[in-house]
Amino acid sequence: MIPPAAEVALAWEEAVNTRDEARLLALSDPEIEIVGPRGSAWGHAVLADWLGRAGLSLETRRRFGRDSVIVHGGQGRWHDPETDAIVGQAALASHYRVEGGQVAYVARYDDLRAALEHAGLDETDALT
């Protein structure tokens, strides 16, 4: 069975991919914690700023989850904001915690194994 949190995380990524700020904010806790290579930041203002400048699209290839904790593994692509041309790509993983139907925590990892370990998940938590 797919936990409801998995559907929220998938919708969150779709909002990122379409750069739909209103939908992304609606799917995010107002005090969302965003963890990336430069550390942690919190809140809708930071998330909206990130969405506007990151140019990231996510292609999820594998999903894992239990209760409110979800991990997606796949490919990230960064796009030039003016031309939409791909300017970089890499394998990455995202760790989500969903509370009350909203993403309350998201962390990016360069390695699926590290994301799973941090989330307390493993291969037995794979979602189909």
Q: Which residues contact 118 (CB under 8 A, 6 or more apart)?
A: 95, 107, 109
Handedness of CA 17, 75, 69, 108 (dihedral sign): negative
Phi (first) and psi of residue 45, to 5 degrees? -60, -45
Query: Rounded to 10 degrees, what is the CA torsion of 107, 41, 46, 11?
Result: 20
**Residue 109, strand partner residues:** 93
Within 10 angstroms of residue 121's Cβ, the number of other Cβ atoms is 18
Residue range 58-82, pLDDT digits in tens: 999 999 999 999 999 999 999 988 8
Would strands 102-109 and 28-36 be described as parallel, antiparallel, or unpaired?
parallel
Model-level pTM?
A: 0.93
In the chain, the amino acid numbered 17 is N
- Cα–Cα separations (whole angstroms), residue 124 to 6, 8, 21, 60, 119: 15, 21, 34, 18, 13
pLDDT at position 123 is 96
pLDDT per residue, tens digit, the chain (128 aa), is 789 999 999 999 999 999 999 999 999 999 999 998 889 999 999 999 999 888 999 999 999 999 999 999 999 999 988 888 999 999 999 999 999 999 999 999 999 999 999 999 999 999 98
pLDDT at position 128 is 81
